[in-house]
Amino acid sequence: MEELLMKKLFTNTVLIKENLSKVQQVLMDGPQLMRWNPAISSLKNGTNNSFIIHRNDPAINSDEVLTIESKDQQVSYRSINGRLEYQLIFNLVEKVGSTLVTEDFYLLKDETLAIVFLQPIAKQAFNRNLNGLKRIIEINK
């Protein structure tokens, strides 16, 4: 992957009562996004493990292309072609009977206004989605 300017905007964490392998599997399954991110209206397969996402609800990015990659105990979502380009990195740590998920949100370009105005809104929205992921995984145990 090319080197990009990455500025961390925020971090969210959640403890999911499921093993690391299952959590990683759900994060890597692009179509599952619609189950735990309710703002997504449609999701179509793109190329090279990417997905074309559209939202009808108000969002920072109404449309974006999301590429999903995995390495070791980390899953990365890279969003381009939206108003705000970002990378969301999920670090997974297995605990006894659970997985600690730490979600770090990085801006891929210098967006000073985004940092000032969008950080609290984005942090809350992404945290809500992260807790949606937890619910989906734990309900389907």
Q: Which domains does the chain have, with CATH numbers?
A: 7-140 (3.30.530.20)
Q: Over the stretch 65-93, which tens digit does the pLDDT of each residue have?
A: 999 999 999 999 999 999 888 999 999 99
d(CA 121, CA 98) in angstroms, rounded, equals 28
In the 8-state DSSP scheme, what is residue 60? S
Token pair of 73 as six digits: 């105990």
Stated pTM of the model: 0.90
* Main-chain phi, psi angles of 22, to 5 degrees: -65, -45
